[in-house]
């Protein structure tokens, strides 16, 4: 099991202090410098935005923040493909190179995905897996397939039609749709109730030829949101399964611990430290001035392609443990991981694990094989 780097020395804050600390560490272990240079070389090419591509969805998951907080009805979808293309051209001109397309359900509107594919370097969709994104024309699109809880718990939480009627076999449908598909990573939201299903669920995904990245399930809108596990059972099981399937589970153990506990480098995850806020949202003036990092130029856009959303998820920070937000918190905190070679190695492992998720990344096992 990983452990939080010790506060042995004062954390470097200025660029000069960080540069000097990194130089000292790299002199001790040059291999870390090679990894750091490669990571920086690629990551500086990726400037991300997030787009709610549609308010429509073909299921109604329990714990879905999009519907729990009425994102589906807040704005109207922009259906004019000429205007969609103009939006992509505008954000590209602002320096955006990467888009995460969420919903609703993006596979319902593949024509709205095409302008992003045509104009941006890196495109990812988040899908429930019920429909397959075609291969032709979308060969370089990374696909993040959501799973809640695993095993039969996934159907309990997600296999619900918009009319409320339940069905079964959603995971199996998603596995069939993306069998052996190098584009697909299953983003598996862990729950304490589902800890007994983690191994069998990950095994299915690994044997299906897919990667797995762990998320954490928060029951938005419920009476008892799962903000913290009741014990260490979930964490221990997640770490055990990661060790069983290191080629399939992309995550570094340190990330898994931070995701489930909500803690890293002496801090608790929350609004004051989360970097995945929309920089053009007027509510964030004080947050952006508090000295904690934010993702440069990041915005989350509503389905009208005009409304800037609060952040990358619901805006209800007390319930949030979103995997991409937690990853961004860790990746933007390299200065907290400079106690020595072991600390920097931990940060590099977390960062490389993050980039392994996406099929368009040079860190994807499908590209390095």
7 pLDDT band, cuts 50/70/90, is very low
13 pLDDT band, cuts 50/70/90, is low
219 pLDDT band, cuts 50/70/90, is low
CA dist., res. 114 & res. 131, Å (int)? 17
Give per-residue pLDDT as tens, 164-175. Answer: 999 999 999 999
- Rounded (5°) CA angle 238-321-170: 65
Asked whether 215 and 190 are in contact (CB, 8 A), the reply is yes
- Record the pTM: 0.92
Residue entry with tokens 């780097």: 5
HSE-up (13 A, CA, CB side) for residue 293: 17
Beta 263-264 vs 267-268: how paired, if at all? antiparallel
Which of 217, 326, 354 has the alpha carbon at shortest distance from 269?
A: 326
Give per-residue pLDDT as tens, 189-217. Answer: 999 899 999 999 999 999 999 999 999 98
> Higher pLDDT residue, 293 or 73?
293
227 pLDDT band, cuts 50/70/90, is very low
Give per-residue pLDDT as tens, 253-267. Answer: 999 999 999 999 999
Give per-residue pLDDT as tens, 123-162. Answer: 999 999 999 999 999 999 999 999 999 999 999 999 999 9
Buried/exposed code over 184-216 (b: 16+ C-beta within 10 A; e: otherwise) = bbbbbbbbbbbbebbbebbebbbebebbbbbbb
Q: What is the mean pLDDT of residues 306-310?
A: 95
First to last CA, the chain: 27
For 15-368, CATH gives: 3.20.20
CA dist., res. 56 & res. 78, Å (int)? 12
- Sign for the CA dihedral angle at 234, 312, 302, 80 comes to negative
Sheet order of strands, 184-190 included: 211-216, 184-190, 142-148, 122-127, 98-102, 48-52, 300-301, 308-309
Tell the burial category of 15 from Cβ atoms under 10 Å away from its Cβ (0-12, 13-18, 19+).
exposed
Question: How crowded is residue 299: how many other Cβ atoms within 10 Å of its Cβ?
Answer: 21
Q: Where are the domains of the chain?
A: 15-368
pLDDT of the residue at 220: 46
DSSP for residue 361? S
């Amino acid at each position: 099991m990983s452990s939080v780097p010790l506060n042995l020395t004062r954390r470097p804050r200025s660029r000069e202090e960080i540069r000097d600390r990194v130089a000292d560490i790299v002199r001790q272990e040059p291999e870390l410098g090679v990894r750091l240079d490669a990571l920086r070389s690629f990551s500086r090419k990726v400037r991300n935005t997030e787009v709610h591509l549609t308010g429509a969805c073909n299921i109604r998951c329990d714990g879905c923040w999009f519907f729990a907080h009425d994102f589906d009805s807040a704005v109207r979808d922009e259906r004019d493909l000429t205007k969609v293309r103009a939006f992509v051209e505008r954000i590209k001109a602002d320096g955006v190179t990467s888009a995460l397309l969420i919903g609703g359900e993006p596979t319902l509107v593949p024509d709205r995905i095409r302008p992003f594919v045509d104009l941006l370097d890196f495109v990812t969709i988040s899908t429930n897996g019920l429909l397959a994104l075609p291969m032709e024309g979308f060969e370089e699109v990374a696909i993040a397939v959501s799973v809640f809880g695993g095993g039969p718990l996934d159907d309990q939480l997600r296999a619900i039609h918009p009319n409320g009627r339940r069905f079964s076999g959603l995971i199996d449908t998603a596995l069939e749709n993306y069998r052996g598909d190098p584009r697909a990573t299953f983003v598996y939201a862990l729950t304490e109730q589902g800890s007994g299903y983690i191994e069998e669920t990950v095994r299915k995904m690994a044997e299906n030829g897919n990667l797995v990245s762990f998320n954490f399930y928060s029951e938005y809108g419920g009476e008892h949101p799962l903000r913290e596990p009741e014990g260490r059972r979930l964490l221990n099981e997640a770490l055990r399964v990661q060790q069983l399937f290191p080629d399939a589970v992309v995550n570094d153990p340190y990330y898994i611990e931070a995701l489930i506990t909500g803690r890293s480098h002496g801090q608790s995850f929350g609004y004051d430290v989360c970097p995945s806020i929309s920089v053009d949202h007027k509510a964030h003036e004080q947050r952006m001035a508090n000295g904690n990092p934010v993702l440069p130029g990041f915005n989350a856009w509503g389905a009208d392609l005009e409304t800037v959303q609060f952040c990358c998820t619901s805006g209800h920070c007390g319930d949030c443990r979103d995997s991409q937000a937690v990853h961004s918190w860790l990746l933007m905190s390299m200065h907290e991981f400079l106690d020595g070679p072991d600390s920097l190695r931990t940060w590099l492992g977390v960062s490389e694990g993050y980039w392994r998720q996406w099929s368009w990344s040079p860190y994807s096992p499908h590209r390095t094989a």
